[in-house]
Structure 1
Amino acid sequence: MFFPIINLDIVHPVSSFFSNSLLALFTSFSSIQIYDQHHLKFKQCSYNWWDHSLAIGEVFFLAWGIRVCYNVRNAESLYNEARLISYAIYNIAIVNIAMVAFQ
């Protein structure tokens, strides 16, 4: 399947618009009141199915980026952009995995 990378400039704003619209429709923005050891209260947003589905979509998108980086790892260039872009994608994937582990 041919999917030029420039199409992501169109897909990302459109998908974020629709995801924000759907988020406003399907969530009630409920929060949970939590008390700490000093009896101070604060609100924490609750996670629901929408948050998890966005996280799964992000994992699929990062897996696709890693696949593209693996396929172009030996591409000829003057400045070795493929290696640097691969490092950036791998870095983002590692940080996201760490954030899921901490969350």
Structure 2
Amino acid sequence: MTRVPAAVTAAVGLVGGYSVARVTKKRPLGGVALGVAGVVAARQWAGKVGSGKAAALTGLYLAGFAGSHPLAKKVGAWPSVLGVTGVVAGASWAVERTAAKG
């Protein structure tokens, strides 16, 4: 069985959370999607890179979510969501890759 990388889980959470909120017009549902994926990603990170780095990546995930709101006022909603998703997923990939090398 192939495991989904935490970077993908985090990306799905950020893009999926926004998408759910936008499509349903119910922001709390988007928050649920964002939160569930965030918890799953945090658990994945903790198992792969340890609790300290997992906390940092979880903080980045939350900062990406929060930061996408003011950024959206400058560049638009989708560019903002995709931009912060790229940063979070890229950081996750880099940290996981470094940890895997030992």
Q: TM-score range by the shorter chain?
A: 0.3 to 0.5
Q: Identify, as 1 or 2, the structure richer in strand.
A: 1
Higher relative contact order (CA 8 A, sep 6+): 2
Q: Identify, as 1 or 2, the structure richer in helix.
A: 2
Larger radius of gyration: 1
